[in-house]
């Protein structure tokens, strides 16, 4: 079994920043995807750093990435044990168990799916999470059918509203709170495109036998639609360590510790995590 | 015109089991299903419980089939390589007035031959299932109750039927049935088939399908039920918990599924749209869960769905408690109104139908019948569904076996059933489907 000073799970902005800061020690960085970047890779909008797209921002994060960090791409970490070992499943190398002294979990977050919400009605095709649609459109060139309804007007809901409006779809945003959420720069799309915003309301019922035909809000407004995007929030991806009792060898950073709206904060947290773990190791030596 | 000895209408679990059983004889069999995949009807949305058999009236066909179906389920699931768990169950009562009901069920169950039934005191039940709200008055413990994945059992029976020479056409709705001297002509939009026998296993449509040829004596009134699925991380009881509140007559059932999720079955309700849930129903169910299993984290729900229940009744309005095989004319058999515990009894009912058919045709046994179906076990290290850790090889095998949509793949290997509900893997699965010649998203 190979041993590492530090195993980092997740190669998004957080994991990459942690790996940079921890380099010099024996570090293994594992990510499920074929490339480093995590969610940044699907964000083609210019919302990062210095008016960059997600991939551009990632390129900048990866400049002079330390060669000493061992990468395991296309690799899913299946489990972590209390004995400080992890089971990896890699497309190229197969199953592999490794041991480590420290674990940095930078696994990001996942979206709350429609199923988790108390929405009644049928379960037709045409219901997605916002990030799922972002990936489908930006990475696979898919264009959903309009009209579209987006539940949740946070940053992700707004980014997708703009995206769909740009693709020519009629879009309605439904927001439970009394006013639109999200950052000012993401709200701009509301004045630039004919996006309808329904505040103080939520979705109650979905309609459609096989394919989505519409939805009804709690206040009884019927919205015909062929696509519904759920953008009601993100959950830190912590299930891998749910069975562990916060051991001192474990550090969380980025969206998997707490959901951050801005990538800079994620990078900062990753850096700190990497540096702190490296220091802890060096103090012990 | 293509000719068959038997046409089975409807590929729910009953149709699939019937087709499989028919192939135990040399009976050429065609299975017709109107949906694009099998087990998309009642079989896709139910409680997944393998009932012990204490609910049913002693001496009834239902009681006999349930107790036998329960006893045989291990062997069946081994043959078909479908997960089964004999987890046991508790029927709990909190009001002392409800205890006589449990005693009645105990005595019923004993008459029916249900093994191991025991009436537990409140403290005994609470010790057995520490998650239960305190204050149990009594509980009926049935160690033989189990859980199984209903659609997987149906799909497995379907695959085994095909493996044994049955033919099947999906996406083909039976629109007319005409008696003729040789038997029946069964019409679909695309084709007409000639058959000596018809087995009507059309689930919620079975009365109408019989009506295509003969006036059905049994009609169906549909109502519904609602379900919640919890994340695998949610704490769950070890056994199935049946809970009926005395006052409102409403209750829930908590089911630890073979996949590791907690499933909550809600109460019966009127049905307006098939398989739809109501926002009020879902909220009410969450309240009930909190009431029965107070430690449950209700934030861990990952999915909800609705079910359709076919309730059989006669023209006189009288409802029909037992299973009846309608036989309105020689060679025509109908199962109308097979509701709970139809899953438990599916193999038994399929066998009964097939035996009737074999007798009618004086058919010979099929010496080549092989009851064994291989589950999907090919795995590689390329994990596509991270929540359920399903690999590319499993998904490709499901596609090879005929899955043509993301949903069909999901129901065969479990991809997309986890906490993100397929929001991360369905794009790649759709791409693979396209690569292998099936439509897009
Ligand atoms: C849709 C969306 C849009 C955003 N838009 C903006 C914006 O416009 N501007 C801005 O400043 N910020 C934006 N953000 C916020 C910020 O960019 C992200 O929060 C940040 O990129 C998250 O980085 P992360 O490393 O924490 O997570 P992620 O980028 O999600 O990285 C986590 C990585 O871990 C991998 N992983 C998880 N589990 C495992 C495992 N078991 N085994 C192997 N690998 C695993 C994942 O595949 C992923 O690659 C956005 C966030 C989202 C979700
Ligand atoms: C709410 C609920 C909970 C239940 N829980 C349990 C349980 O826990 N344990 C248990 O043992 N049993 C349970 N049952 C019972 C069990 O689910 C059913 O008895 C069983 O699934 C019925 O299967 P089926 O094949 O008759 O119906 P279906 O699965 O509906 O199959 C009928 C098929 O016929 C097709 N069809 C209809 N018309 C035509 C046509 N004209 N041409 C071609 N095809 C057609 C339909 O598309 C469908 O696929 C439950 C039932 C309900 C309703």
Check pLDDT > 70 for residue B248. Answer: no
Which domain covers residue B161, as residue numbers?
A: 2-45+150-218+320-361
Ligand 1 pocket: which of A107, A186, A254 to mutate (most atoms <8 Å of CB)? A107
Mean pLDDT of A10-32: 97
Same domain? For B252 and B281 the reply is yes
CB contact under 8 A, B386 and A128: no
Q: Is B278 in the same domain as B403?
A: no
The whole-number pLDDT of residue B441 equals 46
Asked whether residue B155 falls in the same domain as residue B27, the answer is yes
Question: Looking at residue B269, what is its pLDDT?
Answer: 77
Q: How far is CA B238 from CA B125, B131, B144, in A?
A: 12, 9, 13
% chain A with pLDDT above 70: 100
- Say which residue, B280 or A101, is predicted with more confidence: A101
pLDDT tens per residue across span B372-414:
999 999 899 999 999 999 999 999 999 999 999 999 999 999 9
- Total tally of structural domains belonging to chain A: 2
Chain B residues close to A95, C-beta within 8 Å: 381
Give yes or no: residues B159 and B141 share one domain.
no
Average of pLDDT values for A33-47? 95
Q: How far apart are CA B316 and CA A84, in angstroms?
A: 70
Average pLDDT over residues A177-203: 95
B47-60 average pLDDT score: 97
* Same domain assignment for residues A118 and A228: yes
CATH of residue B124's domain is: 3.30.9.10
Same domain, A27 and A97: yes
- Same domain for A191 and A252? no
The verdict on A143 touching B (C-beta cutoff 8 Å) is no
State the pLDDT confidence band at B250, using cuts at 50, 70 and 90. confident
Write out residues with Cβ below 6 Å of ligand 2: B 9-15, 32-35, 39-43, 46-49, 51, 173-174, 201-205, 209, 225, 307-309, 338-344
A150 and A95 in one domain? no
In this structure, the answer to whether residues A219 and A240 fall within a common structural domain is: no
Query: Which pLDDT score is estimated for B116?
Result: 98
pLDDT value, residue B249? 59
- For residue A107 and ligand 1, the question of a CB distance below 6 A is answered with yes
Q: How confident is the model at residue A124 (pLDDT cuts 50, 70, 90)?
A: very high
Q: Does B414 fall in a domain?
A: yes
Domain boundary residue, one of A191, A215, A232: A232
Tell which of B250, B279, B310 closes a domain: B310
> Which of residues A232, A253, A272 is at a domain's end?
A232
Taking the CA of residue B283 and the nearest CA in chain A, the distance in Å comes to 7
- pLDDT value of position B267: 73
Candidates B261, B257, B256; CA nearest to B302 is B261
Do B156 and B9 share a structural domain?
Answer: yes
Where helices occur in B129-169 by DSSP H, the ranges are 150-163
Q: Which residues of B touch A78 (CB under 8 A)?
A: 383, 389
Q: Do A214 and A240 fall within a single domain?
A: no
The nearest CA of chain A is from the CA of B337 a distance in Å of: 23
Indicate if B115 and B228 belong to the same structural domain.
yes
CB atoms B283 and A89 under 8 Å: no
Question: Looking at the structure, do residues B198 and B300 belong to the same domain, yes or no?
Answer: no
Q: What's the mean per-residue pLDDT of chain A?
A: 96
pLDDT, tens digit, 9 for 90 and up, residues A241-275: 999 999 999 999 999 999 999 999 999 999 999 99
Question: Nearest residue CA, atom 2 of ligand 2?
Answer: B46
Tokens of A105: 């979990």
| DSSP β-bridge partners for residue B264 | B228, B254
Q: Tell whether the model's pLDDT for residue B440 goes beyond 60.
A: no
Q: Is the pLDDT of residue B81 over 80?
A: yes
For the CA of B188, the nearest ligand: 2
Same domain, B226 and B306: yes
pLDDT tens digits for A56-110? 999 999 999 999 999 999 999 999 999 999 999 999 989 999 999 999 999 999 9
> Are B135 and B233 part of one and the same domain?
yes
Ligand 2 centroid – CA B347 distance (Å):
13
Residue B199 lies in a domain: yes
Encode pLDDT of A209-232 as tens digits: 999 999 999 999 999 999 999 999
Cα gap B240→B86, rounded to integer Å: 10
Q: Which residues of B touch A (CB under 8 A)?
A: 229, 233, 273, 275-283, 286, 301-306, 380-383, 386, 389, 391, 407, 419-424, 426-427, 431, 441
C-alpha B441 to ligand 1 mean position (Å): 24
Asked whether residue A239 falls in the same domain as residue A179, the answer is no
Q: What is the CATH number of the domain that holds A28?
A: 3.50.50.60
Do B227 and B279 fall within a single domain? yes
Per-residue model confidence (pLDDT) at position B329: 97
Q: At what angle do helices A155-166 and A130-140 cross, to 10 degrees?
A: 40
Whether residue B279 is predicted with pLDDT greater than 70 in this model: the reply is yes
Residues A120 and A134 occupy one common structural domain: yes
Same domain, B124 and B158: no
Q: What is the ipTM of this complex?
A: 0.93
How does DSSP assign A223-270, residue by residue?
Answer: EE-SEEEE-S-EEE--GGGTTS---TTEEE-GGGTS--SSHHHHHHHH
Same domain, B417 and B301: no
- Residue B289, domain member (yes or no): yes
Question: Which CATH number characterizes residue B192's domain?
Answer: 3.50.50.60
Q: pLDDT tens, B10-24? A: 999 999 999 999 999
**CA–CA separation, A27 and A11 (whole Å):** 12
Q: Which of A217, A232, A247 is the last residue of a domain?
A: A232
Give how many domains chain B has, as a whole number: 3
Cβ of A237 below 6 Å from ligand 1: yes
Query: Does residue A135 share a domain with residue A64?
Result: no
Of the residues A77, A109, A132, A134, the best mutation for testing chain B's interface (the one with the most B CB atoms within 10 Å of its CB) is A132
Quick count: other Cβ atoms within 10 Å of Cβ B3? 12
In a domain, B353, yes or no: yes
Tokens standing for B260? Answer: 């590791």
Interface test with A, best of B302, B308, B382 (most A CBs within 10 A): B382
Chain B residue at shortest CA distance from A91: B382
For residues A209 and A256, state if they share a domain. Answer: no
CB contact under 8 A, B304 and A115: yes
Among all bound ligands, the one having the nearest atom to the CA of A130 is 1
Range of the domain at A25: 2-110+235-284
Residue B246: the pLDDT is 62
**Three-state DSSP state, B287:** helix
Amino acid A31: pLDDT? 98
Is B247's pLDDT higher than 70? no
Give the ligand with the smallest distance to the CA of B349. Answer: 2
CB B263 within 8 A of CB B228: yes
The pTM of the full predicted model, rounded to 2 decimals, is: 0.95
* Averaged confidence pLDDT in chain B: 95
């Amino acid at each position: 079994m190979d041993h590492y000073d530090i195993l980092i799970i997740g190669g998004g902005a957080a994991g990459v920043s942690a790996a940079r800061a921890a380099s010099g020690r024996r570090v293994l960085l594992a990510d499920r995807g074929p490339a480093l970047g995590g969610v940044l890779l699907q964000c083609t909008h210019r919302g990062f750093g210095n008016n960059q797209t997600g991939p551009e921002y990632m390129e900048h994060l990866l400049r002079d990435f330390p060669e000493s960090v061992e990468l395991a791409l296309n690799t899913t970490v299946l489990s972590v044990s209390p004995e400080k070992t992890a089971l990896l499943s890699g497309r190229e190398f197969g199953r592999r168990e490794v041991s480590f002294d420290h674990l940095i979990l930078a696994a990001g977050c996942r979206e709350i799916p429609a199923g988790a919400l108390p929405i009644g009605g049928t379960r037709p095709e045409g219901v997605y999470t916002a990030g799922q649609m972002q990936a489908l459109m930006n990475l696979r060139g898919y264009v959903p059918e309009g009209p579209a309804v987006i539940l949740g007007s946070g940053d992700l809901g707004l980014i997708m509203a703009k995206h769909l409006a740009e693709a020519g779809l009629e879009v309605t945003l439904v927001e439970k709170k009394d006013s639109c959420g999200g950052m000012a720069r993401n709200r701009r799309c509301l004045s630039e495109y004919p996006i309808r915003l329904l505040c103080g309301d939520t979705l109650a019922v979905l309609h459609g036998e096989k394919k989505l035909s519409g939805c009804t809000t709690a206040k009884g407004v019927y919205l015909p639609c062929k696509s519904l995007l759920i953008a009601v929030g993100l959950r830190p991806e912590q299930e891998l360590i749910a069975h562990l009792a916060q051991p001192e060898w474990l550090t969380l950073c980025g969206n998997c510790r707490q959901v951050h709206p801005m990538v800079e904060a994620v990078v900062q947290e990753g850096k700190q995590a990497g540096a702190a773990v490296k220091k802890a190791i060096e103090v012990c030596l | 015109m293509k000719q068959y000895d038997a046409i089975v209408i409807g590929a729910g679990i009953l149709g699939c089991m019937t087709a499989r059983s028919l192939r135990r004889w040399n009976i050429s069999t065609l299975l017709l299903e109107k949906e694009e995949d099998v087990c998309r009807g009642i079989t896709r949305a139910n409680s997944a419980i393998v009932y012990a058999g204490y609910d049913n009236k002693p001496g009834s066909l239902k009681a006999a089939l349930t107790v036998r179906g329960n006893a045989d389920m291990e062997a069946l699931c081994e043959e078909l390589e479908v997960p089964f768990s004999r987890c046991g169950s508790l029927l709990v009562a909190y009001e002392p007035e409800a205890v006589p009901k449990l005693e009645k069920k105990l005595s019923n169950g004993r008459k029916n031959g249900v093994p191991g039934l025991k009436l537990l005191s409140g403290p005994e039940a609470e010790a057995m299932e520490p998650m239960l709200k305190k204050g149990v008055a009594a509980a009926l413990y049935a160690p033989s109750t189990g859980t199984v994945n209903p659609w997987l059992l149906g799909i497995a029976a379907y695959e085994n039927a095909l493996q044994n020479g049955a033919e099947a056409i999906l996406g083909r709705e039976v629109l007319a049935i005409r008696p003729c001297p040789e038997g029946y002509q069964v019409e679909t939009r695309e084709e007409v088939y000639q058959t000596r026998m018809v087995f009507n296993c059309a689930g919620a449509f079975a009365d109408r399908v019989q009506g295509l040829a003969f006036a059905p004596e049994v009609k169906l009134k549909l109502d519904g039920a609602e379900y919640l699925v919890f994340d695998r991380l949610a704490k769950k009881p070890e056994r199935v918990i049946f809970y009926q509140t005395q006052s409102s007559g409403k209750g829930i059932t908590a089911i630890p599924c073979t996949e590791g999720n907690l499933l909550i079955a809600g109460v019966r309700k009127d049905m307006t749209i098939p398989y739809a849930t109501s926002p009020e129903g879902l909220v009410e169910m969450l309240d009930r869960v909190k009431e029965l299993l107070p430690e449950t984290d209700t934030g861990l729900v990952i999915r909800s769905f609705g079910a359709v229940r076919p309730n059989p009744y006669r023209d006189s309005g009288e409802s029909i408690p037992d299973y009846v095989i309608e036989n309105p004319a020689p060679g025509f058999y109908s199962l109308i109104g097979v509701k709970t515990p139809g899953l438990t009894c599916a193999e038994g009912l399929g066998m009964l139908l097939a035996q009737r058919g074999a007798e009618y045709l004086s058919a010979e046994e099929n010496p080549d019948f092989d009851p064994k179906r291989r589950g999907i076990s090919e795995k590689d290290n390329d994990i596509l569904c991270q929540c359920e850790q399903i690999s590319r090889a499993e998904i490709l095998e499901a596609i090879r076996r005929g899955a043509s949509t993301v949903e069909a793949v999901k129901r065969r290997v479990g991809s997309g059933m986890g906490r993100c509900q397929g929001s991360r893997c369905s794009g790649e699965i759709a791409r693979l489907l396209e690569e292998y010649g099936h439509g897009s998203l």
